[in-house]
Amino acid sequence: MLQIVSKSRSDTHGKFIWCELITSDTSAAGKFYASVVGWNVRELAMPDMPSYFLFEMGEGDNCPGIGGMMHFPPELEGKMPPNWTGYVAVDDVDETARDFVSLGGRIQRDPEDIPGVGRFAVVADPHGAVLCIMTPIPPANPPRQLGPADPGNLGWCELMAGNGEEAFEFYGSVFGWAKDHDMDMGERGVYRIFAYDGHPGQAIGGMMTKPDTVPAPCWSYYFNVEAIDAAIERITAGGGSVVFGPMQVPGGSWIVQATDPQGAFFCLVAPKRS
């Protein structure tokens, strides 16, 4: 069994707090997601830093931020497709990065500071699924918070794992995630619903061993919309493509998986079809 030394953790350790899009065309991608999800796109001025854009619900200084967007840095241009990456809050980035390594994962980008924002690192689990970890600097004026099911918010996080059981054990060790319940997917295996430790019944995502049709272990992110059929119309009208769905999932919600015009994979979830 994977183990790290038992430690006291804050209530925020292990929570998904941000999603980030790296793309080849920030202008086009911004317009697409503004239409499809309903985000406001705002450029964030950071001295001596590349242009960075915020995805927010509403306008003004106190509106909730969902994620961000940036153009490929020069060292990655042409080496990977546009993609979304999630950020998980941790109490100590350097310590958690070491935990990843000690349990068989890897550090993809060493911990570093973003002035005024926090300290982050890019890490991969033992099977290669990548995400970011961050110790954020609390803002002086915290924005208002969206509810878990509010339109525009991150509604679900999903891991297609190299091995579902091993992945759950790994992430439970480093982030403190706990099993909520399992769903029998027949020949595809078990889909495990997980929650923040100490919050049973408040599931935040699911994971399972990836099918052969998924080329590599990866995380996917589902953003909330009001109705799935209308969102699909916006996807196709904006130049995106539907990869899978619409499909109703246990509990009654509807999902769709898609790619944006630049090729980044993303997902949507809604409480109703139309």
Q: How far apart are CA 119 and CA 96, in angstroms?
A: 12
207 belongs to a structural domain: yes
Number of H-type helices and E-type strands within the chain: 4, 16
Q: How far apart are CA 52 and CA 43, in angstroms?
A: 6
For the beta carbon of residue 209, count every other beta carbon within 10 angstroms: 22
Same domain, 227 and 258: yes
Same domain, 182 and 241: yes
CATH number reported for the structural domain that contains residue 47 in this entry: 3.10.180.10
7 belongs to a structural domain: no
Q: What global pTM score does this model have?
A: 0.92
Q: How far apart are CA 18 and CA 13, in angstroms?
A: 13
Same domain, 130 and 161: no
Buried/exposed code over 211-246 (b: 16+ C-beta within 10 A; e: otherwise): eeeeeebbbbbbbbbeebeebbebbeebebeeeebb
Give which of 67, 119, 123 is closest to 99, Cα–Cα.
Answer: 123
- 3-class state of residue 97 by DSSP: helix
230 belongs to a structural domain: yes
Domain boundary among 136, 167, 201: 136
Same domain, 166 and 259: yes
Same domain, 47 and 91: yes
**Does residue 64 contact residue 259 with C-beta atoms inside 8 Å?**
no
11 belongs to a structural domain: no
220 belongs to a structural domain: yes
pLDDT of residue 198: 62
Same domain, 161 and 64: no
Backbone φ/ψ region at 75: left (φ over 0), alpha (ψ -120 to 50), beta: alpha
pLDDT of residue 139: 78
Same domain, 199 and 127: no
pLDDT of residue 5: 47
Same domain, 181 and 232: yes
Q: How far apart are CA 176 and CA 195, in angstroms?
A: 9
Same domain, 35 and 123: yes
147 belongs to a structural domain: no
Same domain, 212 and 264: yes
172 belongs to a structural domain: yes
Mean pLDDT by 10 residues, the chain (274 residues): 60 92 97 97 81 88 88 82 97 97 97 93 98 91 83 97 96 94 88 82 90 94 98 98 94 96 98 94
Same domain, 20 and 128: yes
pLDDT of residue 243: 96
Q: How many domains does the chain have?
A: 2
pLDDT of residue 122: 98
State the residue range of the domain holding 232.
154-270
pLDDT of residue 2: 53
Same domain, 112 and 64: yes
143 belongs to a structural domain: no
